[in-house]
Amino acid sequence: MAYSFDFPAVFDYTPVLVDGVVLTAALTVVSTVAGVSIGIAGAAARTSGVKALDTAVGVYVEVIRNTPFLVQLFFIFFGLPTLGIRLPEWQAAVLAMVVNLGAYSTEIIRAGIQATPRGLIEAGESLAMTRAEIFRHIVIKPAMKKIWPALSSQIVIVMLGSSVCSQIAAEELTFAANFIQSRNFRPFEVYFVVTALYLGLAVLLRWLLARFGNLVFARRAARA
């Protein structure tokens, strides 16, 4: 084997890689914020005791969890235009990721909510708190704290899964890799570098999520 590695051939395209990393990061941030918000709302709906809400959200969750992400993405990008809904690549990518994370995080957060001891809810009820007040002040924070590690993993999975969005020409990191290797014909070097970038992004994301968790769920003294 007389292959001579040529990594500078990749770094000639550094601006393309940077753009890819930036879009991947942006997709992840937006879909995390929106997806987890949907997850909290979905979990609240599923535990509300309102049968119709529970069923409706249940259908959404199961449809998303039991179909491939790539097909969901194609449906949004190639399917919806038939109905006159035409989204640019990055918007379709964000929508697919939000819908996907929303479904998974609904189930993860629901598990946390359902682990709330019955006595805490009764304590809230006997203090004349409404269902919504109990959810907001008593249930959700300990629930999120409990499931934060699981939710963090799901967010990392969604970040890594965003590579699939290259298939609709959203110019994220994998798209950048495909683009570069089609120009310099150095697939080993290109995918080696991009793999390292994903690894770095994932490690960084996990660290950020852990820090965020510590910050939000830390114990704080009362302020008056």
Partner 1 sequence: MSLVKLTGIHKSYGDNEVLKGIDLKVNEGQVVALIGRSGSGKSTLLRTINGLERINQGSIEVDGACVDPGQSDLRALRLKVGMVFQQFNLFPHLTAGQNVMLAPVVVKKQSKADVRTIAEEALAKVGLADKFDAYPDQLSGGQQQRVAIARSLAMKPRVMLCDEITSALDPELVNEVLAVVRKLAEEGMTLLLVTHEMRFAREVCDTLVFMHKGRIAEQGAPEEVFTKPATPELAQFIGMVTER
**Toward partner 1, which CB reaches closer, 130 or 214?**
130
- Rounded to 10°, the helix 89-114/140-161 angle is 150
Cβ neighbors of 144 (< 8 A, separation 6 or more) are 40, 109, 112, 151, 216, 217
Interaction of residue 19 with partner 1, rule CB under 8 A: no
The only residue of 96, 138, 155, 173 in contact with partner 1, by rule CB under 8 A: 138
**Toward partner 1, which CB reaches closer, 138 or 177?**
138
Please calculate the CA angle 65-70-76 and round it to the nearest 5 degrees.
90
3-state helix, strand, coil in the chain (%, to 5): 80, 0, 20
Q: Give the number of C-alpha atoms closer than 13 A to the C-alpha of residue 146, restricted to the C-beta side.
A: 15
Residue with tokens 């300990």: 142
Interaction of residue 133 with partner 1, rule CB under 8 A: yes
- Least CB distance to partner 1 at residue 124 (A): 8
Q: Per CB under 8 A, which region of 35-43, 96-104, 131-139, 199-207 contacts partner 1?
A: 131-139
Q: What is the 3-state secondary structure (H, E, C) of 145-168?
A: HHHHHHHHHHHHHHHHHHHHHHHH
Interaction of residue 145 with partner 1, rule CB under 8 A: yes
The only residue of 120, 203, 208, 210 in contact with partner 1, by rule CB under 8 A: 120
- Least CB distance to partner 1 at residue 37 (A): 20
Q: Per CB under 8 A, which region of 73-81, 105-113, 135-143, 196-204 contacts partner 1?
A: 135-143
Compute CA 180 distance to the chain's CA centroid, rounded to the nearest angstrom: 26
Q: What string marks each residue from 65 to 104 as x (binds partner 1 by CB under 8 A) or -? A: ----------------------------------------
Please, which of residues 203-222 interact with partner 1 by CB under 8 A? 217, 219, 221-222
Interaction of residue 199 with partner 1, rule CB under 8 A: no
Interaction of residue 224 with partner 1, rule CB under 8 A: yes
Cβ neighbors of 173 (< 8 A, separation 6 or more) are 17, 20, 21, 23, 24, 163, 194, 197, 198, 201
Q: Which helix (H) or strand (E) holds 34?
A: helix 14-46
The only residue of 50, 115, 127, 199 in contact with partner 1, by rule CB under 8 A: 127
The residues binding partner 1 (CB under 8 A) are 117, 119-120, 122-130, 133, 137-138, 141-142, 145, 217, 219, 221-222, 224
